[in-house]
Structure 1
Amino acid sequence: MSNKHSNILVADKYRTHQTAKNFRSKNKPSQVIKGDPVQEYIDASQASATKRAYASDLRHFLTHGGKVPCTPKQLAKYLAESANDGLAVATMDRRITAIHKAHINQKRASPAHSEIVRQVMQGIRRTLGTKQRQVKPLMKDDLLAALEAIEKVHMPVRAARDRAILLVGFASAMRRSELVGVRMEHLTFSPTGLDIELPTSKTDQEKHGRTVFIPRGRGGHCPVQALMHWLKSAGIRTGHVFRSVNRYDGIAKQGLTPQSVALIVKAAMVQTGADAYNFSGHSLRAGYCTSAAEQGQPTWQIREQTGHRSDTTLAKYIRSTSRKTTPSLL
């Protein structure tokens, strides 16, 4: 390779890195103009998870030949290639928003609302449809099989953590981000069960907060007992409840990521002989909703546990199954 071509590649990589870096820095909640209350409230208007998603989307665009600024034709080509690679329509819509914000932040003309981009997305929606892939709910039989598999394949501390995540994740019906965000100061144990305080969540950006209650169960699959066993085994007294565990059963100080929940669910289901593609972290929440609905619980009562604001949103988590559940969820 000639020195000229080598310099061009280095320059391209530098520009890609700098553009993504600039976007991330402008979207970090901590990057505010001191003394400027307007900027502070603008930064607080979006959840940190949303900002991370936008930054990730922009990185994907840049590492796949995109640049800021880009032309409408370049963005349309990127979207067409993404569709051919099987990317979900909802994800493409989010990436368009991320690319649009990157242009606005740099005071550049955005290609996001151009006619060619609009036509390409219209064609993609008609060709691929807009229905999102729905993972299978983790029903009671699935959960019990996963718990049994965990005990066989993992060392004691790792097994204690994974059991607690599956049982608490199912019984609480919390979102993945809520589950991994739980800290010791959020827990209140009582003879009847466990209260988990959620200071904020995906649909509670104004931080009103809510409390999730998990009753104590009978037998060896009580979520409260599983959580207490994990905390005792890991020696956790402060900070995040759910943490990484290495191959030697060493405990990390930081908490897990939402994606970690999905990986734990998938790994457990693989050990039962199931196809990991059909399950994710959402399977725990969907499993609770589906089980509760099949037992005849009213939707308002289910939403009280899950935090859904409407029956319409809740309905997306209630999946049809051919199985009959037992009287208790666990």
Structure 2
Amino acid sequence: MATRKEGGSSSLVQKFAAASTSESSRRSYAQDMRHFKAWGGKVPATAQMVAEYIAAYGGHLKAATIEHRLIAIHREHQDQGHESPCKSPLVKQTMEGIRRSHGVAPRRVRALLKEDLVEILVSVARQKPLKAARDKAMLLLGWAAALRRSELVALTVDDVVRHAHGVELQIRKSKTDQRGAGQTVFVPMAKSKDRCPVLALQEWLLLAGITAGPIFRQVSRHDYLVGEKGLTPQAVAQVVQAAVRVAKGEEVAATVAAHSLRAGMVTEAAMAGMPVSEIMGVTRHTSAATLYVYIRPVEKRRVRSLL
């Protein structure tokens, strides 16, 4: 039976309290707080100060971005034992005014369909061999398995189980599985060897000499592997945007992100008539309503004229 120890118990409390929030969320909140303090904010802050802060950016930032920064300010006050100014009627009314004045429609990134993917893979192939192999594997695997960017960079060699006709990926933690119960996705081999995610993954691991640890790692401008650490989630977006920029130009590149791979797979599957239940088996969505954000536009395009 465990006995109470001074000091040791409090450090464990801090450890598990920190684990209640994902690492990516903590980084995001810290970035929001740096923005708030750079503007002139401080902790503890008054309701007037916070209201003036969000009003200053009401016409420049998306409502969702401002709301995220309010959450960061709220959490920072709670963590330091202060009363949160974000609960005040003044801050709530200011935020509601921003929503009404500028709208709350979320930004929808462009979905990269199969034909888009094939086009950008041509531009990727023109890169130096190691970087080309890595980017090809990232793009194909991210698209075929509908992976979130955090899931893609978290993959390790041990998370890949090879089968005769594909690979099974172990997703140890995801947006809808914060407690790490684990999920699996099977990625079948493609009919075309040139765009097969399984073969692309094997080629990358062989060329890079990776036999353990993170699968996707940094490649230097001289085309050699840099260290043993995995890439950051932001690196996935950079790879996607760079590939699209070369293939389709700057204007199109500005409309895509890492999520374009996941959105593209869902959209392509819906266009092919794949049942929602099968799509959810790949995407691991817990709600069909969330999935329909991608499927409904496809269904609308199928509506036949009644005239």
**Taking structure 2 as the reference length, what is the TM-score of the superposition?**
0.90
- The unaligned stretches of length 5 or more in structure 2 are 1-6, 302-307
**Structure 2 CA distance for aligned equivalents of residues 287 and 222 of structure 1:** 16
1:78-104 CA distances to partner (integer Å, 9 max, x unpaired)? 11122222x221121111111111112
Specify which of 95, 98, 105 is matched with residue 131 of structure 1.
Answer: 105
Q: Secondary structure at the match of 2:168?
A: strand
In the alignment, which residue of structure 2 is the partner of 1:54? Answer: 29
Specify which of 47, 56, 59 is matched with residue 84 of structure 1.
Answer: 59
- The unaligned stretches of length 5 or more in structure 1 are 1-32, 325-330
1:146 deviation in Å?
0.4
1:114 deviation in Å?
1.2
1:107 deviation in Å?
2.0
1:45 deviation in Å?
2.2
Specify which of 217, 230, 251 is matched with residue 225 of structure 2.
Answer: 251
1:43 deviation in Å?
2.8
1:198-217 correspondence runs (5 A): 198-217=171-190
Partners of 1:199 and 1:207 within 8 A in 2? yes
Specify which of 68, 72, 76 is matched with residue 43 of structure 2.
Answer: 68
In the alignment, which residue of structure 2 is the partner of 1:150? Answer: 124
Q: Secondary structure at the match of 2:237?
A: helix
**RMSD of aligned alpha carbons:** 1.7
Aligned residue type for 1:259: Q
Q: Secondary structure at the match of 2:218?
A: strand
**Structure 1 CA distance for aligned equivalents of residues 89 and 213 of structure 2:** 50
1:217-232 correspondence runs (5 A): 217-219=190-192, 220-232=194-206
1:59 deviation in Å?
1.2
**Structure 2 CA distance for aligned equivalents of residues 61 and 39 of structure 1:** 25
**Structure 2 CA distance for aligned equivalents of residues 316 and 216 of structure 1:** 28
1:110 deviation in Å?
1.7
Partners of 1:286 and 1:318 within 8 A in 2? no
1:211 deviation in Å?
0.8
1:294 partnered with 2:268: no
In the alignment, which residue of structure 2 is the partner of 1:178? Answer: 151
1:269-280 correspondence runs (5 A): 269-274=244-249, 275-280=252-257
Change (3 A) 1:321 1:300: closer
Aligned residue type for 1:147: L
Q: How many equivalent residue pairs?
A: 289
In the alignment, which residue of structure 2 is the partner of 1:265? Answer: 240
1:242 partnered with 2:208: no
